[in-house]
Structure 1
Amino acid sequence: MVATSQPALRRAGRIAVAVLVVFALVAVGFLVWANAVMMGDREAALHVWRDPRVSVRDVGDAVELAPTGHASGDGLVFIPGAKVDPYAYLYKLSATVAETGLTVLITKPTLNLAFFDQRPLSEFTRHVPEVQRWYVGGHSLGGVRACQLADDPAVSGLVLFGSYCANDLSKSHLRTLSISGTHDGLSTPEKIRDTRDLLPPDATMIAVPGMNHAQFGDYGPQPGDNPSAISDDRARAAVTASLESFFRP
């Protein structure tokens, strides 16, 4: 048996330490990147907080947006896009909540990335036990995760904001609404078209002319997106009209 020399052991030790340091730096860098979220527009969020028709409540792992008047009994678990602050979706969703009585839970994904969040739907729906019929939805990467959660037998329908499915739901009986933007540079019209066959045949497909990817929330420009050709107010009106038609009792 050949004994390992001391210099060789020292070299192996130095290599092991160097590898650990590299892994640690990568892990720290990833955590810093994941936690550098795209914050919501303050004025848009304040508008919702001041709206007497809706209430906002932080329930720990989600933000609840509820009507202060009659609740319809419908609820939507909504998953944000990658690294987008949950509060950035309050303004785009608030008018629908006020007009239809829908209750919305905007989740806080693990590490701000939906594909790391493997919590079941029941982890969120437990916050509002009075809801009778649940829908699941999301924006961008959050929509991809929503498609996975749509297999839950408690789910009645699916709502996609600038997103598409990676799993096949074409044989399901889910009520489905897909809202996309013709100027979306990330979930492009081509991607929406190419994945259409993964949705139920009777899915409602709405493409908003001039709307881009970031206009599904209120968090400012997003890298890789195209410039929008409509105002944020017009984008919100289009999203609200689509949601109200889908959720109106």
Structure 2
Amino acid sequence: MKKKRRLLRWILLSIVLVVIIAVVGTLAWTQIGVMQAEPEPLAEAKANPAIAITDAPEGIVLAPLEGVSDTGLVFIPGAKVDPWAYVAILQHVAAAGTTVVITRPWLNLAFFDLRGMDSFTAAAPDVENWSVGGHSLGGVRACQLAEDADALVLFASYCASDLSDSGLDVLSLAGTEDGLSTPTKIADARHRLPDDALLVEIDGASHASFGDYGPQPGDGTPTISVEEMRRVVTEQLVPIVTLLDAE
């Protein structure tokens, strides 16, 4: 009996140690290799006189300084990407009249973040119409939150959940040079989106072109300029926002 008890204790201790090592290893991995926002694009966005940038508890809030903002976008970063890396590419969407809330995913990974839309829209309680979007893994999470939004925006991403009968307005932006969320992968997941979803391939854009955090392992080489990328993204996003406002 003593030998059996000692064996049982040894087995239980081994299991506990394995679990502890796995948890500690996972936590360490989520903090190592986080892709930081490039300082120059961020500084440029912070100097934009048309928007106010607030580091709020709900996320990084980009608010237009002119007019009344009736529309908002909750935007979820890609895996292990600094949320500030999306401020520059979304600044002109905010300047056009949409309040943007860039979330800070728990442990830098969107699938660990179980908060609902109201955790982020609380940053701008006067905004009536909300869309949700995200980049890469952030887009996958955005699909899960889309039932509480009026529209869905995907940056180099696709849905794992079926939204084909949701009736949502959907905009999916892909890059022809994306080595991670390739145009083929996005096309293969097309059936999970409504029939009238708008899919746009941006010529020359890579996976990392949708943020300002530098090159990403496994990605393609972008041939589009930063300025042109921002222009195209803004041009595609603003009509979706205008549609929401009209409704």
Q: Distance in 2 between matches of 1:59 and 1:173?
A: 32
Number of residue pairs matched by the alignment: 242
Matched, 1:226 2:220: yes
Q: Secondary structure at the match of 2:140?
A: helix
Amino acid in structure 2 at the alignment position of 1:136: V
The superposition leaves residues 198-224 of structure 1 with CA deviations (integer Å, 9 ceiling, x where unpaired) of 111111111001101011011111122
Match of 2:187 in 1: 193
160-169 or 221-230: bigger deviation: 221-230
Q: Where do 1:120-135 residues align within 5 Å?
A: 120-135=116-131
Q: Distance in 1 between matches of 2:29 and 2:194?
A: 36
Q: Secondary structure at the match of 2:144?
A: helix
Match of 1:40 in 2: 37
Deviation at 1:11, TM superposition (A): 5.2
Percent of aligned pairs sharing the same letter: 48
Q: Greater Rg, structure 1 or structure 2?
A: 1
Match of 1:92 in 2: 89
Match of 2:237 in 1: 243
Matched, 1:22 2:18: yes
Q: Which runs of 5+ in 1 are unaligned?
A: none
The correspondence for 1:101, drawn from 97, 100, 112, is: 97
How big is the alpha-carbon RMSD for the aligned residues of Structure 1 and Structure 2? 1.7
Q: Where do 1:48-197 residues align within 5 Å?
A: 48-98=45-95, 100-152=96-148, 155-197=149-191
Query: Does the CA contact (< 8 Å) of 1:71 and 1:103 recur in 2?
Result: no
229-238 or 189-198: bigger deviation: 229-238
Q: Distance in 2 between matches of 1:74 and 1:136?
A: 11
Amino acid in structure 2 at the alignment position of 1:165: C
Amino acid in structure 1 at the alignment position of 2:52: S
TM score, norm. by length of structure 1: 0.91
Query: Does the CA contact (< 8 Å) of 2:58 and 2:122 recur in 1?
Result: no
Deviation at 1:9, TM superposition (A): 4.7
Counterparts in 2 of 1:127 and 1:72: CA distance versus 1, 3 Å: closer
Query: Does the CA contact (< 8 Å) of 2:37 and 2:84 recur in 1?
Result: yes
Match of 2:205 in 1: 211
Q: Distance in 2 between matches of 1:73 and 1:96?
A: 13
Q: Secondary structure at the match of 1:244?
A: helix
Query: Does the CA contact (< 8 Å) of 2:79 and 2:138 recur in 1?
Result: yes
Q: Secondary structure at the match of 2:21?
A: helix
Amino acid in structure 1 at the alignment position of 2:194: P
Q: Distance in 1 between matches of 2:180 and 2:7?
A: 47
Query: Does the CA contact (< 8 Å) of 1:62 and 1:105 recur in 2?
Result: yes
Query: Does the CA contact (< 8 Å) of 1:162 and 1:187 recur in 2?
Result: yes
Q: Distance in 2 between matches of 1:18 and 1:123?
A: 39
Query: Does the CA contact (< 8 Å) of 2:179 and 2:206 recur in 1?
Result: yes
